[in-house]
Amino acid sequence: MRNAAHCSLNALARSPVPAGEKAFATIGEVPLNRLLKYLNVFVAVVFLAVLGMIYWFGWRVLPKTTGEIAAPIGRNSRITRDNLGVPHIQAQSLQDLYFLQGYVTAQDRLWQMEMLRRYAGGELAGILGPDLVNSDRDMRRLRMRRLAEENTRTLDANIRPLFAAYARGVNHFIESHGNALPVEFTILRFDPRPWSVTDCVLLGLHMFRELTSTWRNDLQKYVMLRNGDRKLVNELFPVGAGEELPGSNAWAISGKLTASGKPILANDTHLEYGIPTSWYMIHLSAPGMNVAGVSLPGLPAVIIGHNQRIAWGLTNLQSDVQDLYLEKFNPRNGQYLFRGEAKQARAEREVIPVRGREPVEQVTWVTQHGPLWTAQDNQVFFIRWVAAEPGAFAFPFFELNAARDWGSFRDALRGFAGPAQNFVYVDVDGNIGYQVAGRLPLRRSYSGDEPVDGSSGEFEWEGFIPFEELPSALNPASGMVVTANQDPFPRDYPYRVNGNFAPGYRAGQIRALLRSKRGWKPEDMLAVQKDVYSPLHHFLARQVVAAYDARGAKDGRIDGAVSVLRAWNGQMEKDQGAALLASLLYNHLRRALAERAAPGKGAVYESRMAGPVLERLLRTRPKYWFADFNSLLLRAFLEALEEGTRLQGRDPAKWNYGAAQELVIRHPVGNAIPYLNRYFNLGPVPMSGSVASVKQVTRRIGPAMRFVADASDWEKSLLNIATGESGQVLSPHYKDQWEAHYVGRGLAMPFAKIRGDVLNVTPLHP
């Protein structure tokens, strides 16, 4: 509109002036030419002001990547940024190395680090307002910062200096860029406080919390048992079941299956989407250390990657390391019973700052089993959690980064407490391996799959399963190791184990694909990582078709929809109407199972094992569940069809699965800025994949990274994170990896041949 007005005024200025009148036109008493001059000056001033703001708040704060800086390190070092903005750090000591890792991570991800430590420590409401009070209460009930402080005091003396070096690097960036911090700090008008070793430990515990939440499943089962049939509810929650949480894939294949004759390792972690993403790419080199891969912002070392001798990947074991205890508890005085004796709970009082409001008080009662965590039906539940046990924070990744063979790899993992993980291994000598690591509670008399009586003393942990008895394998005869969060414990395992283990759908599909040929190359692994076939949804579609055919009568209302499922190949592709129909069918069948087991209470059945449970019931068709399973299938199918019709019209052949699970990744601050939020956010984009496909995707989770390591030549390895290396919106590396991630294209992972911008770092002398 401004440009249109400008053009109109210019046209008026060029029109002829009638004879005998003044030689210039006027508007009121102001000559038009002068008005145009003022307007042009105003537009120019506004334009320059906008450019100035963009420069000052967005461009000026981007990392310095070339030239030279001085820092409090011991000897000259170098940071090379490649074409993706990944820092390759060359230092002369481990202290300098981790100092510089902290520095470069803060350059790119300081705002993310600040948000993570505030989230984990229960301090978000102080900067984001009252909507975050409940989140802060949760973190404080779990005692996250208190646990971090306790673990910091007992931190191993060999690794404390390395955490301290990382924290000093973060702080050097904050101190040297106090007036050039990421724009989010300016928008919210606060400065970050100094980073500490406790903050590093806190973020380690934050990942522990993110990846262990079996209490939800225990509570879900408890609610259904209160209102339902115990036999049926127990069948819905077999030991090993869990809620639908993010999962990951990792596998290793031996040289007999590869083109090079050397092993290949692949890993894609599925986490909650965010911008920036969870992982930060890094290459660390110092005497005795040369390792590359991905790290977690706020923590030193490489978590997944390779060095000169070995490569490793990991998936979450998702073991049950939490128990809910029903205590005989008096909230008035904090007393509770244990084995017939009255005990006193400890009251921990805290004040939660709230931006724009008065602070709120938080009181957490803590018994010998842990803090009061939640309530249901006038019952209070206290939670025991491995992360709250003494010495629960152990960080094996410094040793792991320097490991050179299977023995030193396993030695690094012996003291690892959690979150318990499946580690997959390859080395340049041709070995492949698998190791479970983490503390798993010893439960002698119970499985831990539902809340237990805290007063009896009969449901206590008796230590942890010894490391040497955790599942492990070296060079299996099959030539492959595959983990996709499935239960790795054999049926005759001597200890009781439980967890949010995933069904075998993903692991089975990965094995089938890997067995389908030989001569695998690194780039071929991406086709497996992005596979979207769902055995579960394909099975359900065939069951509906069979039930419809068995009825022997056509129905014009649904015949076309049945034909769509009949022709479907089970691929959960974004443009497939059948994929959407099968997904809705699965949801309605789960609701039917919940209603049958616990009728009339609106029970929710979100167990990871819902698929296998449903499949078993449809294969065996026990009469005590449903008298007529075909009727169940067709009723759920009709409900799914009606829901899909409301969403996308009457013709399922024209439905679009990707539109129904469109992904939008919203920046937590930038999303609130009108007109500019599209630059901060990512999407909307339609997504392929499902909860049961190798590419595990929902509207909340998906592959956060894809990593392929080639032990024949590390230069052939591939690495791609979901969004980009930088958290700064004007950086060219804010979203530059998204396109490759979306289509499943691998990006080169340079290791020995490093090219890019060079920043020399010299010692800062007083």
Do 194 and 327 share a domain, yes or no?
Answer: yes
DSSP-assigned states of every residue in 154-166: T--TTTHHHHHHH
689: left (phi over 0), alpha (psi -120 to 50) or beta: left
Do 78 and 34 share a domain, yes or no?
Answer: no
Contact by Cβ (8 Å): 65, 759: yes
Assigned domain for 17 exists = yes
Assigned domain for 752 exists = no
Do 205 and 330 share a domain, yes or no?
Answer: yes
Could you give the CA distance from residue 204 to residue 198 in angstroms, rounded to a whole number? 10
Helix (H, G, I), strand (E, B) or coil at 652: helix
Amino acid at 331: P
Contact by Cβ (8 Å): 474, 457: no
Could you give the CA distance from residue 613 to residue 597 in angstroms, rounded to a whole number? 13
Residue 605: half-sphere exposure toward Cβ, Cα within 13 Å: 30
Quote the tokens at residue 413: 């993992």
CATH number of the domain enclosing 104: 1.10.439.10
- Antiparallel, parallel or unpaired: β 757-763 and 67-71: parallel
Residues contacting residue 195 through CB under 8 Å, at least 6 positions apart: 102, 106, 113, 167, 170, 171, 174, 298
Angle at 387 between CA 383 and CA 392, to 5 degrees: 145
Assigned domain for 311 exists = no
Do 48 and 99 share a domain, yes or no?
Answer: no
Contact by Cβ (8 Å): 250, 311: no
Mean pLDDT by groups of 10 residues along the chain of 766 residues:
39 39 49 69 61 56 91 97 98 98 98 97 96 96 97 95 98 92 91 97 95 87 90 84 60 98 97 94 97 98 98 95 95 96 97 96 97 89 95 94 98 95 98 97 92 96 96 97 94 90 93 96 97 97 96 83 96 96 96 92 79 95 96 96 95 94 90 85 94 91 95 98 95 96 96 96 86
Amino acid at 89: I
Do 120 and 186 share a domain, yes or no?
Answer: yes
Do 39 and 121 share a domain, yes or no?
Answer: no
Do 184 and 328 share a domain, yes or no?
Answer: yes
Quote the tokens at residue 595: 């209603």
Assigned domain for 195 exists = yes
Contact by Cβ (8 Å): 598, 228: yes
As a dihedral over the C-alpha atoms of residue 281, residue 286, residue 287, residue 289, rounded to 10 degrees, the angle is: -10
Give which of 141, 146, 150, 151 is closest to 365, Cα–Cα: 141
Domain boundary among 367, 388, 409: 388
Could you give the CA distance from residue 103 to residue 110 in angstroms, rounded to a whole number? 9
Number of domains in the chain: 2
**Tokens 């296998």 identify what position?**
612
Question: Which secondary structure element, helix H or strand E, spans residue 539, and what is its range?
Answer: helix 535-551
Do 13 and 117 share a domain, yes or no?
Answer: no
Neighbours of 390 (CB within 10 A): 7
Assigned domain for 89 exists = yes
Contact by Cβ (8 Å): 313, 409: no
Assigned domain for 676 exists = no
Quote the tokens at residue 103: 């520095």
Domain boundary among 59, 75, 96: 59
Do 54 and 85 share a domain, yes or no?
Answer: no
Encode burial over 295-319: b for 16+ CB neighbours within 10 A, e otherwise: bbbbbbbbbbbbbebbbbbbbbbbb
Assigned domain for 166 exists = yes
- Antiparallel, parallel or unpaired: β 472-474 and 289-295: unpaired
Residues contacting residue 192 through CB under 8 Å, at least 6 positions apart: 110, 114, 174, 181, 185
Quote the tokens at residue 5: 């007005």
CA of 741: how far to CAs of 326, 523, 744, in Å? 45, 13, 5
Do 136 and 174 share a domain, yes or no?
Answer: yes
What residues make up the domain containing 151?
A: 67-213+323-388
Quote the tokens at residue 270: 């599925």
Beta bridge partners of 329: 336
* pLDDT reported for residue 62: 86
Do 152 and 38 share a domain, yes or no?
Answer: no
Q: Is the pTM of this model over 0.85?
A: yes
Do 27 and 172 share a domain, yes or no?
Answer: no
DSSP state of 639: H
Could you give the CA distance from residue 110 to residue 118 in angstroms, rounded to a whole number? 12
Could you give the CA distance from residue 255 to residue 409 in angstroms, rounded to a whole number? 20
* pLDDT reported for residue 676: 83
Assigned domain for 242 exists = no
